[in-house]
Homo-oligomer: A and B are copies of this chain.
Amino acid sequence: MTRYKATIAYDGTDFAGFQTQVNQRTVQAELEKVLTKLNSYEPVILQGSGRTDAGVHAFGQVIHFDLLGQPRDLERLRFGLDTQTPADIAVKKIEQVDEQWHARYCKHEKIYEYYLENAVTRSPFSRNAKAYFRYPLDFDRMQEALSVLTGTHDFTGFTASGSSVDDKVRTISQAEVIQLDEENFKFVFRANGFLYKQVRNMVGTVIKIGNDRMPVSQIEKILMTKNRDFAGPTAAPEGLYLKEVIYDQGE
């Protein structure tokens, strides 16, 4: 057995999310189908750094998996996997790793990006690739709200209810908004982990603040009360990209 780490990109539009679900088209299932073929038809179960929801994209999701036999030629393996998976998945890089290495449990930070089109008319080219908000947004108010989110907090108020994780304290080391052009914003979040729907709930809240329908102080209130009801709506999935998973050195 040899363990491999792979960096993949996918367009989440036509997937029911990353993780395998019965009778659904998922990124994991599509990859495992091909990996099993490349493993002399012995089933392969892969592990991702985490899940992404239906419609959410990835520029750089990281997975690991084991294949029978000696280490393989990495570019040949990458090319085989890339060309045999559907066109909405790309396999960008494969490395050989120690058999202890684990995409989920090895310590890492994640970077998410969120693309938002803020224009009078929604572009037909962004309908699956960016979220859309028609009304005015105040850049400074959004940046201020994001600066309150930065740091170590209990993010219970920004996660979906029914989440099974106990410890909801996370450290956000970067939370900012960039104005790409007159009609486009990009939000960037970097943290040692994110709770279920946390990024989309933070973006939905920040948009509401940017549109002046919530005070900036609401962020503090949501963090303190841990009450999801005070937060804005969950922002649409099509704007969200798992940009990068950054592992600690030596792991």
Contacts and interface: CB of A to CB of B under 8 A. Distances in A.
A108 interface: no
A57 interface: yes
Assembly stoichiometry (copies): 2
B122 A11 contact: no
A90 B11 CA distance: 22
A23 interface: no
A10 to B, nearest CB: 5
A129 B123 CA distance: 13
A121 B11 contact: no
Contact of A121 (B88, B90, B127): B90
Interface residues of A, number: 18
A55 to B, nearest CB: 14
Contacts of A125: 9, 11, 57, 129
A127 B87 contact: yes
Interface string A223-250: 0000000000000000000000000000
A108 to B, nearest CB: 23
Contacts of A11: 124-125, 127
A146 interface: no
A89 interface: yes
Contacts of A92: 121
B87 A121 contact: no
A66 interface: no
Interface in A83-134: 87-92, 121-125, 127, 129
A90 B119 CA distance: 12
A124 B89 contact: yes
A127 B129 CA distance: 13
A124 B82 contact: no
Nearest to A8: B124
A51 B124 CA distance: 18
